[in-house]
Structure formats: C-alpha cells, structure tokens
Amino acid sequence: MYEILEKHDHSPVTKEIKVYAPRVASKAKAGQFVIVVPWEKGERVPLTIADFSREEGWITLVFLVVGKSTKFMAGMKPGDRLYAVVGPLGNPSEIEHYGTVVCVGGGLGIAPIYPIARELRKAGNYVISIIGARTKELLFWEDKIHSVSDELIVCTDDGSYGRQGVVTVPLKELLESGRKIDVVWAIGPAIMMKFCSLTTKPFGVKTIVSLNPIMVDGTGMCGACRVEVDGKTRFACVDGPEFDGHKVDWDLLMARQRLYCEQEKLAAELFEKQEAKC
C-alpha cells in the first residue's frame, strides 16, 4: 500500500499528491510514468512522475479530476493509501547537452515538464520555459518551473495572468527572433502539442512530445495505447511516451482519445450518485 504523504489542491480540478513509493522513486527518471490503482477494484490510471526523491522515497503525481477514479483520488487525504503504484514505466527523456532548449508546458503538462527542464539544466543547457493555462486559476508550479529555468514566459488564454494568448505565440516569437533553438519539448493537451509541432516544423527544430493515449496495462501487452508515428504503429507505453512531434498522426491520436468519452462520463455520474447516497 502506498501512503499519501501530502496533498495540495491547486484548483477545483487540479490535484497534487506526494506518495511514499521508495522502490519506484529509486529508479525514476524524468519523462517516465506510473500506473496507479486507487483501490482494489479500481481502474488503472497512467500518471507522469512530476517529481521524486530517491533519498526520501517519494514521488509526486498531479492529476485532473475528470472521471470516476480521479474523483475518488481527489477525495483521498494524507494518511490514506493507494492500492498500487506500478513503475517507473516508459522510456526516460533523452537528456543531453543540446545548447538552448525550450520547454513548453500547457495545463497539466506543466507538471511533467518540470523534471525534464530540471535535468536539462543540470546537463548544462540554457533552458527557456513557457507555461500556460486557460486561466490564472489553472496555473500552478510557476515558482518550481522558474527555479529550473534561465527564462520563463507565462501565458493565460484569457489574459488573467501573464501574457494573454496560447503558448505557441511566444514559441513562434523565439523561433523568429533569430536565436538558435536546438530542441523543443512540448507537453500538454494533444491539440496544444500538435500546434507546437506545427509551429516548429518550418524552422526545422526538433520537437519532442509526450503522448497520452488510452492506456491500460502500461507494459505493451494490451495494445490500447497504439499511436501512429512516421506511418508506423507504436505503443506509447513501451516505445514512448516521448516521440518526435513532427512525425505523430495527431488527428488519429485525438480521435482515439475520444473513443470512450460517453462511458467515462456515465461512470463518473454513477460514482457521484453513489457518493451522494453515502
């Protein structure tokens, strides 16, 4: 059983938990994820490892409250225990000395971009971070991202904080400025990663994205997380989760993400009714 050590509510829908998972933490690297099973008969929820301490044996997970399992997790508190945490899974980010890198985190993608930016900076890169959300309320970890960045640009769609606009606007400005950008990491909603990739492609700048398709077992056996990259079928859990954003079939990915929206909505509604009866 995996004890929740701390919990933070960044917004009504954005939650952060620090979980005691020493064996996972001992092997964790930036870019990897875990499969969380909240209770014995719960579903398997893939979550990127947002932070970790090998010495203290904990990992940090950030999630959006969208369905039955995340609603259940949102109701947990420090001292409660998750049934299972499996990982670390997936290939870690390829951390090297590239030169100048841009790390773009949109919405919940702010969490997984943090350890990547941290490790890139440790490797001697000049790190420019761009983070964004729809509103100020949905922004989080600005201080943490600032601590691992040489430059930080903050955006909100509605202009309630930082620059008004989407993250692709300052990204394009950087590319057009003449500064040499060696690599871009972009993590967030699929539509945001798609347009970041479309923004960088004319400039020939390598762009790495972290894909989040439907995922079940996380070990490559079920095939649920298949994606098309460079015209070939890949499995996000074992071949990724990071891929070249210029080679991803984004339309197919987003179509697959919508496959079970109705079932997920129904499960969440039934869960809320059960909770209300209790």
What is the reported pLDDT for 68?
82
Q: Are residues 209 and 137 in the same domain?
A: yes
* Residues 167/106, Cβ–Cβ less than 8 Å: yes
Q: How many Å apart are CA 269 and CA 34, to the nearest integer?
A: 26
Q: How confident is the model at residue 268 (pLDDT cuts 50, 70, 90)?
A: low
Q: Are residues 82 and 142 in the same domain?
A: no
Average pLDDT over residues 154-182: 94
Residue 209 has pLDDT above 90, yes or no: yes
185: domain CATH number is 3.40.50.80
Residue-wise pLDDT for 34-77, tens only, equals 999 999 888 889 999 999 999 999 999 999 998 888 889 999 99
Name the percent of the chain lying above pLDDT 90.
72
Average pLDDT over residues 107-131: 96
Is residue 94 assigned to a domain?
A: no
Is residue 233 assigned to a domain?
A: yes
Q: Are residues 43 and 15 in the same domain?
A: yes
* Residues 210/48, Cβ–Cβ less than 8 Å: yes
Q: How many Å apart are CA 249 and CA 227, to the nearest integer?
A: 8
Q: How high is the mean pLDDT of the chain?
A: 90
13: domain CATH number is 2.40.30.10
Q: Where are the beta strands (DSSP E) in 146-259?
A: 151-156, 163-164, 183-187, 206-210, 226-229, 232-235, 242-244
Is residue 274 assigned to a domain?
A: no
Q: How many domains does the chain have?
A: 2
Q: How confident is the model at residue 155 (pLDDT cuts 50, 70, 90)?
A: very high
Q: At what angle do helices 250-257 and 190-200 cross, to 10 degrees?
A: 170
Q: Are residues 146 and 25 in the same domain?
A: no
Q: Are residues 108 and 73 in the same domain?
A: no
Residue 245 has pLDDT above 60, yes or no: yes
Is residue 177 assigned to a domain?
A: yes
Q: How many residues does the chain have?
A: 278
Q: Are residues 188 and 57 in the same domain?
A: no
What is the reported pLDDT for 273?
66
Q: Are residues 79 and 143 in the same domain?
A: no
Average pLDDT over residues 18-45: 93
Q: Are residues 111 and 249 in the same domain?
A: yes
Residue-wise pLDDT for 178-202, tens only, equals 899 999 999 999 899 999 999 999 9
Beta bridge partners of 232: 229
* Residues 33/88, Cβ–Cβ less than 8 Å: yes
Domain limits at 80? 2-89
C-alpha pair distances (Å), 258 with each of 48, 74, 82: 20, 23, 27
Quote the tokens at residue 10: 């960044």
